[in-house]
Chain A
Amino acid sequence: MVAKFKCPCFPGHVKLIETTGLTRTFQSRRGPVHAVRGIDLTVPEGEILGFLGPNGAGKTTTLRMLTTLLPPTGGTARVAGCDLAADTAGVRRRIGYVAQSSGVDPHISVLEELVTQARLYRLSKAQAATRAEELLHDLDLTALAHRPTGALSGGQRRRLDIAMALTHRPPLLFLDEPTTGLDPRSRADLWQLVRRLRDEHGTTVFLTTHYLDEADALADRIVVVDHGLISAEGTPAELKTRYAGSADATLQDAFLAITGHDLTTGTTGTTGDDPTAGSARRRTRSHA
């Protein structure tokens, strides 16, 4: 294990995500759908980035590109020090991804899923077993090791998902709406865990969420996307001051001013959502 790199004169110098003009256009029967129109994004090491936007804004498409699941149609990106297009395998070895759907088989035990996941990252059998033990212990799942994953509660499942994403010690973790559907207690636990990963271990976190209080509580910096472009970015306080007129305003007010959407209720303001964009994208994706 190489000693952790910290540039002494310029902390936060290492950029874990760097994109230029990142674009994704889908071809649908009704012509091209511009899901992401050119995103320039920089995420320094150790940052928790909140990636917000209304439904159909290009959030998920951006996330799928950065996690190697979807090839961009334009622009460049370096993720965790590797070029997304030229060294996809390198990116995959260095990132952890917690998707919305948890991605475990409900009939397979917690331990078996963890060990298999570690081995997918090419850990040896012995290493994988050790790593699974460590993670079970650290994420308070040891007592559940032999349960089928389908028997876990929502909060336990999310902890398992995060454990699965950490088997290979990724310096960069992607979380896609991690607390959707969780009870308040599990949500608070998860926030705690994310903070701990960053504060104590220096993990960089890229987080999408629908909950503005979550972004406010967790994110060092917020990027708002709308219609496939970045429409605002800054710390929560900066966004509140700039768009809602006061640092005491809620992030909700700022968000409404930026996008014209009310994120929590899903009602549309002045700009208007494009419901066809989402369905066309789903359709093209399923025929890709």
Chain B
Amino acid sequence: MTAATAPLTPLDPLGPSSPRRWSAPAADTALIFGRYARQTLRSRYQMAFGILQPLLYLVFFGPLLTHVRLGSAGSSWQVLVPGLLLQLSLFGSAFAGFSIIIEKNHGIVERMRCTPVSRLALLLGRVLRDACLFVAQGVLLVLAALAMGLRAPLPGILIGFAFVGLLTVSLASLSYAVALNVDRPQEYGPLVNAFTMPSMLLSGLMLPMTLAPGWLNAISHLVPFRYLVDGMRDAYLGHYATGAVLEGVAVALALAACSLTVGTRVFRRAGA
């Protein structure tokens, strides 16, 4: 790429092209992340509306629980806030797929798939943006909860954010993978509802499943988010080395690994 060459003159067709670098996937991820982070910062709506739903629950539902016995050691806020944080991630990630349907229809996904960019980076750059967005919204939610009366140890709160980040990486990956196989937003909406509502109800996001009858409790053990909620609630109580926290971490990591694998596969060979 010397200055002496005319701008439109192509490279030698059989000559060496740009070299492969070992750091390429990381650089690619940073590049894709930057593109979508800038896009998010440009649209203030996305920042504001995502947090609205959990904030409404916090303000209008949270106070109902303060005198209810939830079978938990701490205050009702220590039970509710972890659930709301994961709810934020669950709904936000599920809706992330909408954006890629629009991009697909613009031909953006295909245009990028035609470049040598790492397929993992195409996915990871996007889901890391989502993870940052929802953790940032989670911080706002926790600040609001502190004002409402939440008291929890700082390490527990930080562990909670890690859970939010991991869950977002997993669910956003799946969300993009599914959305890439759907042609219109109208088809994707019902899929999102069919997935998010049962997930929310069956994982005990709003109220702990320890309150549930045996059959419901048994079903909820089949829903992976259940383990994340339980682990996060323990962390909010200041119990870090419990079985629930370890199970939560294990499930979150396994889910993230599977989802990233599935998502990357779709970017590698999708009808995008």
Q: Which residues of A contact B (CB under 8 A)?
A: 1-5, 14, 16, 45, 67-69, 71, 80-81, 89-90, 92-95, 97, 99-108, 112, 116-117, 119-123, 127, 131, 134-135, 137-138, 164, 166, 168-172, 196-197, 200-204, 285-288
- Residue-wise interface mask of B (1-20) relative to A, using a CB-CB cutoff of 8 A (1 in contact, 0 not): 11001111111111111101
Partner of A127, one of B1, B6, B103, B114: B1
> Is B24 interfacial (CB-CB < 8 Å)?
yes
> Is B67 interfacial (CB-CB < 8 Å)?
no
Whether A172 and B270, one on each chain, are in contact in the complex, defined by CB atoms closer than 8 angstroms, is: no
Point out which of A90, A112, A169, A170 has the most chain B C-beta atoms below 10 A from its C-beta.
A169
Closest to B7 in A: A134
Closest to B187 in A: A286
Whether B9 and A169, one on each chain, are in contact in the complex, defined by CB atoms closer than 8 angstroms, is: yes
Whether B106 and A2, one on each chain, are in contact in the complex, defined by CB atoms closer than 8 angstroms, is: no
* Chain A residues near B6 (CB-CB < 8 A): 200-201
Q: Whole-angstrom distance between the alpha carbons of A45 and B13 in the complex?
A: 8
Question: What number of residue pairs across chains A and B have CB atoms under 8 A from each other?
Answer: 144
Q: How large is the interface on B (under 10, 10 to 19, 20 to 34, 35 or more residues)?
A: 35 or more
Q: Which residues of B contact A (CB under 8 A)?
A: 1-2, 5-18, 20-21, 24, 27-28, 31, 35, 38-39, 42, 103, 105-108, 110-117, 181-183, 269-271
Partner of B116, one of A16, A67, A122, A288: A122
State the Cβ distance, B188 to closest chain A Cβ, in Å. 12
Closest 5 CB pairs of A and B: A103-B111, A101-B107, A171-B13, A285-B271, A103-B107
Closest to A149 in B: B106
Partner of B114, one of A14, A67, A201, A286: A67
* Chain B residues near A122 (CB-CB < 8 A): 18, 21, 24, 27, 116
Partner of B20, one of A80, A89, A119, A121: A89
Whether B11 and A171, one on each chain, are in contact in the complex, defined by CB atoms closer than 8 angstroms, is: yes
Q: A68-B114, A171-B12, A288-B271 are in contact. Are A102 and B7 (CB under 8 A)?
A: no
* Chain B residues near A68 (CB-CB < 8 A): 113-114
Majority DSSP secondary structure for residues of B touching A: loop
Whether A104 and B12, one on each chain, are in contact in the complex, defined by CB atoms closer than 8 angstroms, is: no
Closest to A102 in B: B107
Closest to B182 in A: A286
Whether A135 and B7, one on each chain, are in contact in the complex, defined by CB atoms closer than 8 angstroms, is: yes
Point out which of B18, B106, B116 has the most chain A C-beta atoms below 10 A from its C-beta.
B116
Q: Pick 12 A–B contacts, CB within 8 A, sort by A.
A: A2-B12, A68-B114, A101-B105, A103-B106, A120-B28, A123-B1, A137-B7, A168-B18, A197-B8, A200-B6, A203-B10, A286-B181
Given contacts A89-B116, A103-B111, A169-B11, 13 further A-B contacts (CB under 8 A): A2-B11, A5-B15, A69-B113, A69-B114, A93-B18, A100-B107, A101-B105, A107-B42, A122-B18, A127-B1, A166-B10, A170-B10, A201-B9
Whether A120 and B112, one on each chain, are in contact in the complex, defined by CB atoms closer than 8 angstroms, is: yes
* Chain A residues near B108 (CB-CB < 8 A): 103-105
Q: A99-B107, A137-B7 are in contact. Are A5 and B269 (CB under 8 A)?
A: no
Q: A120-B28, A121-B115 are in contact. Are A201 and B110 (CB under 8 A)?
A: no
State the Cβ distance, A282 to closest chain B Cβ, in Å. 8
Q: Whole-angstrom distance between the alpha carbons of A92 and B17 in the complex?
A: 10
* Chain B residues near A93 (CB-CB < 8 A): 17-18, 116
Partner of B8, one of A103, A123, A164, A196: A196
Q: Whole-angstrom distance between the alpha carbons of A164 and B106 in the complex?
A: 15
Q: Whole-angstrom distance between the alpha carbons of A89 and B106 in the complex?
A: 24
State the Cβ distance, A260 to closest chain B Cβ, in Å. 30
Closest to A167 in B: B115
